[in-house]
Structure 1
Amino acid sequence: MLPGFEAPPPVPVHRFFFAVMPDPATAARIAGLAESMRLEKDRPVGTERLHITLGSLGDFAYVPGATLARARAVADRMDVPSFSVRFDKIISFNGRAGHQPLVLVGRAGLENLIDFRRQLRRALKQEAGLSMLPTGFTPHVTLLYGAQRPDEYRIEPITWTVFDFVLIDSWLGKSYYDVLERWPLTTGNASG
């Protein structure tokens, strides 16, 4: 290459992340709640895309086969019992103007989810040398993107049992997800 004519770095088009998703009945209830909160220019998250992000493996311009293989191998070995999650409040997260996420959060009932994420994050690091980002974690389900809401809203709790977790390929800028793989949690006490 001639100096000054270097190719620009490829633009990331994929974000790979682990998540848990609500069952169809709970997803429909959450989508109905999002619709009831919707203002004119808000963009609700599609029912099939509702999830709790556990953490991202990163943004990529290509499908990182070796990275995904290592992540899948760790996921194959996870041995965690199913657990319940509970959300009882709606708040706005910060975002760019007109694109603030309106999210479900909970005050209690998320301890087992937080512990599962900690176990997955540690296993990815120790067994596969992979970092799961971000390091901080505020469990939430994004309902829609839109105008900032000044208040928080208490709601009748939304609870579901998490029976599995997934690896998702999010097509950046496309509002489209591919669920690449799903791993069952072990049956047992669905406490939480």
Structure 2
Amino acid sequence: MTDSASDRPTDSLFFAIYPDAVAAARIAELAARLRIEHTLKARAIPADRLHVTLHYLGAFAGVPADVAAHACAAASRIALPPVDVTLDRIESFSGRRARRPLVVSGDVTEPLDALERTLGTALEAAGIALKRHPRFTPHVTLLYDEHRVARERIEPIAWTVREFALVRSRLGKSQHEVLARWPLVP
């Protein structure tokens, strides 16, 4: 049994959709305001890393070429139109860690659900084991903090998603790299 540093996860892979520039700016402003209103200590996630995760593929020691290739092949088979996303509430998700994610979330619409399900089915057909939640809840994580924030309605933040992406996250380094993008075409 090996337990070397080279076996430790350094990267994770996930599929995501990103808010457009206007929505990302509004989400970042919301996070800044909530930090003040709720006296939160954690730093907000930078606007360029704000996203909705569609599917998490796992954590790996490096980026496994076979997983990335199968994921890209599966994603290339998705043929769906653009999807509207509306996020209209904030809340802290519960979790096992002391620092809980504070998110802005919304209800899943049929078109967004179709994107999540269709991509998930294609990934599973490609032999990729997914770590799925029983119910997809579109959300953008704003920050992680020990203080819990109760669910609260906000002025809706909406945008039209015109593409989805395969993203590499460098664990512990707060860095995301988009490996590939696929358009949603009307």
Q: When the two structures are superposed, what TM-score results if normalisation uses the length of structure 2?
A: 0.90
Residue matched to 1:61: 61
**Partner secondary structure for residue 141 of structure 2:** strand
- Report the number of matched residues: 179
What displacement does 1:150 show? 4.3
Residue matched to 2:3: 8
State yes or no: 1:178 paired with 2:177. Answer: yes
Structure 2 unmatched ranges of 5 or more: none
**Partner secondary structure for residue 144 of structure 1:** strand
Structure 1 unmatched ranges of 5 or more: 1-5, 188-192
Deviation sequence 1:94-127 (CA, Å, 0-9, x none):
2322x211101114x533212211010001112x
Q: Which amino acid aligns with 2:104?
A: L
Deviation sequence 1:57-80 (CA, Å, 0-9, x none):
111002100111111011112101
Question: Cα 1:150–1:47, aligned 2, differ >3 Å: closer, same or farther?
Answer: closer
**Partner secondary structure for residue 84 of structure 2:** strand
Q: Which has the larger radius of gyration?
A: 1
Distance in 1 (CA, whole Å) between partners of 2:40 and 2:84 is 33
Q: When the two structures are superposed, what TM-score results if normalisation uses the length of structure 1?
A: 0.88
Tell whether the 8 Å contact from 1:121 to 1:131 is kept in structure 2 after alignment.
no
Distance in 2 (CA, whole Å) between partners of 1:81 and 1:150 is 35
Q: Which amino acid aligns with 1:8?
A: D
How large is the Cα RMSD of the aligned pairs?
1.5
2:130 to 129, 132, 144: 132
Tell whether the 8 Å contact from 2:40 to 2:147 is kept in structure 1 after alignment.
no
Counting aligned pairs with the same residue, the percent is 47
Q: Which runs of 4+ in 1 moved over 6 A?
A: none
Tell whether the 8 Å contact from 1:110 to 1:139 is kept in structure 2 after alignment.
no
Residue matched to 1:88: 88
Residue matched to 1:190: none
Residue matched to 2:143: 144
